[in-house]
Amino acid sequence: MQIGAMTSNGQTVHALACDWNDSKSAILAGPAVVAAIATAKTALDACAPQGSAAKLQWSSVTSKPVLVKGEDEGIGACIAEAATPVVAITKGTCTAIVLVGDPKRAGLMAAPLHD
């Protein structure tokens, strides 16, 4: 499952890609993943109120997302920690670029993270 960009409750995620173990529920995976990340929007935005982005990876067997790459390692680690609620609903392995803080700057910071 791949989604170019999706926003839920004000939280934007780019380049969401999941290898879902349960193909029957894979069609619902995208919205569920973004909604789970959105539950942490306040904590995510606190990581970089000025706007930033980080590419994260997580799976159903990890305790939290890990930073793949980002503008700043400290901000990326904060984003990974804040996005922890997404692990509970994951049934496979996913990557996504999570945008935080000021939307305009976050979009600019996300651009180089696309592979």
With cut-offs at 50, 70 and 90, classify the pLDDT of residue 115: confident
Are the beta carbons of 59 and 93 closer than 8 angstroms?
Answer: yes
Comparing 21-35, 45-59, 79-93, the range with the smallest average pLDDT is 21-35
Q: Give the tens place of pLDDT for each residue, 54-79.
A: 999 998 787 788 889 988 889 999 99
pLDDT of residue 23: 65
Q: Report residue 15: phi and psi, to 5°.
A: 50, 45
Tokens of 71: 């503008």
**pLDDT in the model for residue 45:** 97
Is the pLDDT confidence value at 27 over 80?
A: no
Whether 28 has a pLDDT exceeding 70, the answer reads: yes
Please give the residue range of the domain that contains residue 31: 2-113
Under a CB-based contact definition with an 8 Å cutoff, are residues 65 and 48 in contact? no
Q: Give Cα separations from 23 to 18, 32, 34, 94, 98 (angstroms).
A: 11, 14, 18, 14, 24
Using CA atoms, how far apart are residues 59 and 31, in angstroms rounded to an integer? 16
User: Looking at the 3D structure of the chain, how many domains does it have?
Assistant: 1
What are the distances in angstroms from CA 53 to CA 58, 98, 114? 16, 5, 11
